[in-house]
Chain A
Amino acid sequence: GQQLNQSPQSMFIQEGEDVSMNCTSSSIFNTWLWYKQDPGEGPVLLIALYKAGELTSNGRLTAQFGITRKDSFLNISASIPSDVGIYFCAGTTNSGGSNYKLTFGKGTLLTVNP
């Protein structure tokens, strides 16, 4: 099945710094989604991307759908302590009946030091 390679696995940064994480795949994806998960909670959607090359912002967050449709990145600017959590990329493909299944990356654990 499809796999998403998400990096880095973890990041330790100072408050105010910018953060970047990305996901890559050997398969073409037609949707890229970025989620944040707090401990003991379900993932919450941050940004959804639907077209190759699309660049979308949500406050201090910016994400792009790679032009090859095989990658995406998420940037967080001017990090604050509440940005702490696990960030997941996820995507859907058109591969053989799996249209609606989400494939998840392994997550990036973000720690922000005040």
Chain B
Amino acid sequence: GAVVSQHPSRVICKSGTSVKIECRSLDFQATTMFWYRQFPKKSLMLMATSNEGSKATYEQGVEKDKFLINHASLTLSTLTVTSAHPEDSSFYICSAREDYGYTFGSGTRLTVV
């Protein structure tokens, strides 16, 4: 089946630094990928839709300059959390759309100290 690899699985960074999270589709091409944020015991909240070769589409209330998305190839999308603050600490999950559904990465636990 389709596999989406997300790295890193955990990252701790200092306030003010930037963190990049990678999402790769391993055995299929994904023209569309999605980035979600999940708070403890809550559902997934869509942050943005990442389109290969074009600008990402951000959901209302999500700062595009804060959460930079790049989808430079059909198998890779990256989310960069810029100038991270403790309130950015969260679980970030990517997914890729393929023929029969949506496959999710294993998530990245970001802790900003």
Contacts and interface: CB of A to CB of B under 8 A. Distances in A.
Interface of A: 31, 33, 35, 40-45, 48, 88, 90, 100-102, 104-107, 109
A51 B43 CA distance: 25
A41 to B, nearest CB: 5
A101 B44 contact: no
B93 interface: yes
Interface in B53-101: 91, 93, 95, 97, 100-101
B49 A41 contact: no
B106 A42 contact: yes
Interface of B: 4, 6, 32, 34, 41-44, 46, 49, 91, 93, 95, 97, 100-107, 109
Given A100-B32, A104-B43, A43 B49 contact: no
B54 to A, nearest CB: 14
A43 to B, nearest CB: 5
7 contacts: A35-B104, A40-B109, A41-B106, A42-B4, A42-B95, A88-B43, A105-B43
Contacts of A102: 34, 46, 95, 102
Given A42-B6, A42-B104, A43-B44, 18 more contacts: A31-B101, A33-B101, A40-B109, A41-B106, A42-B4, A42-B105, A42-B106, A43-B93, A45-B102, A45-B104, A88-B43, A102-B95, A102-B102, A104-B43, A104-B44, A106-B42, A106-B43, A107-B42
